Amino acid sequence: MKELLRVFLIIASVFAISFIIIKVTGVLTLEDIKEYLQAAKNISPLYVGVLVSLLLFADLFIAVPTLSIIILSGYFLGFALGAVFSIIGVFLAGFTGYILSRYYGENILHFLIKDENKRLELIKTFNKHGFVMILLSRAMPILPETSACLSGMTVMPFKKFALAWSLSSIPYALLSSYAGSISTWENPKPAIFTAIFLSGFFWLTWYFYHKRIELKNNTK
Q: What's the rounded Cα separation, in Å, for the pair 82 and 175?
A: 11
DSSP E strand boundaries for 29-182: none
| Among 160, 168, 165, 164, residue whose Cα is nearest residue 201 | 168
A 10 A CB-CB count for 49 gives 23
| Among 87, 104, 132, residue whose Cα is nearest residue 11 | 104
Q: What's the rounded Cα separation, in Å, for the pair 41 and 18?
A: 28
Residue type, 212: R
Q: Per-residue pLDDT for the chain (220 aa), expressed as one digit of tens each?
A: 677 777 878 888 877 787 777 777 777 777 888 888 989 888 898 999 999 999 999 988 887 889 889 999 999 999 999 999 999 999 999 999 999 999 988 888 888 888 888 888 888 888 888 898 898 888 777 889 999 999 999 999 999 999 999 999 999 999 999 999 998 777 778 878 887 888 788 778 777 776 676 666 666 5
Half-sphere CA count of 43, side-chain side, radius 13 A: 11
Q: Which positions ≥6 away from 137 have C-beta within 8 Å? A: 143, 144, 146, 147, 168
DSSP string, 34-63: HHHHHHHHHH-HHHHHHHHHHHHHHTTTS-
Say if residue 129 is exposed, middle or buried (CB neighbours under 10 Å; 0-12, 13-18, 19+). Answer: middle
